[in-house]
Amino acid sequence: MVRTPCCKEEGIKKGAWTPEEDQKLTAYLQLHGEGGWRTLPEKAGLKRCGKSCRLRWANYLRPDIKRGEFTPEEEDTIIKLHALKGNKWAAIATCLAGRTDNEIKNYWNTNLKKRLKQKGIDPTAHKPINSTDQTGSEPKHHKLGSSGSARLLNRVASKYSVDSNRDLLTGIIIGNSTNIADVSQSSGDVDSPTKNSTSTLLNQMAAASSGFISIQNNTSTSPGFSDNCSFSDGFTEFFSNDEISGMYTNVDNVGLMEELKDILSYGGADLGDIKDSPEVNVTDDMDFLDSWNKDDDLDLEKFVSSLDSKIGVFV
DNA sequence: AAGGGCCTCAACCGCTATAGA
DNA sequence: CTCTATAGCGGTTGAGGCCCT
């Protein structure tokens, strides 16, 4: 396929935007809305390529963009989300209202990365730089590998959910009680978020999936949590003890955090691993999960309890 | 004051994903 | 199904500002 030339045409301007160009672009978009980027420059009287216009708007001119210093809370969120998602700047940006992926990426590369290095933390792995087995002890891994927890949750989330559930779980991970509170308030009949039970968490997920509520606007196209990490790893390896302690200082989240840890420490097992294991058989449970839909009656507590007793073998 | 090095961040590049003809 | 246009993403670049000598 022949690539469409971009910014190669004669007379197309490159480089920094002038206030006049910004004004033209803003005026045009306020009048006609976003889209049609290819033909926009000519219509708006700009000697720029459409891509350049789109980027200028998305990263700088959009009215909802929040400018200025990142707050400590935002920094914390970026670090934690980076530990979970890696360099998925667009996905991270969806959790930081008003911040663009470009801005977050720049901030990470120029500030946060360095700061982590100074603290002796590998900014890529989010682990201590000198932790590579100087003590001879391996990092803690569960019996069946490290990717399963994320897959298990992805499976549950994708079954029960729309993208909002990922926001909910992300909110839990980063200690954002707002998301959780929103679910509780909006869904009405779900358990209190502070109630300490696995079913509470799954009920919230199920409630969120019912389509009646929207936790927050979500334009992420992320397929879900990365298979490259498990949440149990997220807690015990990606985050330092201090960071975990910090999360637990939010009293509202303590119960849910504990429960999430419990769920995720089921063994870090791939579902296939669990299914194929002679020690435990959850095939029926997963089949049940696959066939379940939101209109069916389901005693989640009983279901989860049953799952607990089986997969718990691997803890 | 000059200039060299470093840092920041807006903008660009190259690529993939997706929609629609 | 194929092709093309468009949108979106992550990595990289480079202009301009700042700091230090």
Only one residue has tokens 């971009």, namely: A6
The distance (Å) linking the CA of A219 with the C1' of B18 is 15
What was the pLDDT predicted at A67?
A: 77
pLDDT tens string A45-59: 888 888 888 888 888
The distance (Å) linking the CA of A5 with the C1' of C2 is 21
Residues with Cβ < 8 Å from A85, sequence gap 6 or more?
Answer: A91, A92, A222, A226
The arithmetic mean of pLDDT across residues A32-61, rounded, is: 83
Instruction: Kindly determine whether the C-beta of residue A102 is less than 7 Å away from any atom of nucleic acid strand B.
Output: yes
Q: Which two tokens stand for residue A192?
A: 């209190």
For residue A266, which amino acid is it? Y
Instruction: Kindly determine whether the C-beta of residue A231 is less than 7 Å away from any atom of nucleic acid strand B.
Output: no
What was the pLDDT predicted at A238?
A: 38
Q: What is the pTM of this model?
A: 0.55
Burial of A33 (0-12, 13-18, 19+ CB in 10 A): exposed
Position A106 pLDDT exceeds 80: yes
Q: Which two tokens stand for residue A160?
A: 């029960």
3-state secondary structure of A128: strand
Instruction: Kindly determine whether the C-beta of residue A60 is less than 7 Å away from any atom of nucleic acid strand B.
Output: yes
Residue A146 CA to residue A142 CA, distance in Å, equals 7
The distance (Å) linking the CA of A51 with the C1' of B20 is 20
Instruction: Kindly determine whether the C-beta of residue A14 is less than 7 Å away from any atom of nucleic acid strand B.
Output: yes
The distance (Å) linking the CA of A2 with the C1' of C6 is 14
The torsion angles phi and psi of A122, rounded to 5 degrees, stand at -70, 115
Cβ–Cβ < 8 Å for A161, A170: no
pLDDT tier at A123, thresholds 50, 70, 90: confident
Question: Could you tell me the domains of chain A?
Answer: 72-130 (1.10.10.60), 148-314 (no CATH)
Residues with Cβ < 8 Å from A121, sequence gap 6 or more?
Answer: A127, A128, A129, A240
Q: Which two tokens stand for residue A86?
A: 């890696």
pLDDT tens string A163-218: 444 555 555 545 443 333 333 333 333 333 333 333 344 434 433 333 222 222 23
The distance (Å) linking the CA of A13 with the C1' of B12 is 12
Instruction: Kindly determine whether the C-beta of residue A134 is less than 7 Å away from any atom of nucleic acid strand B.
Output: no
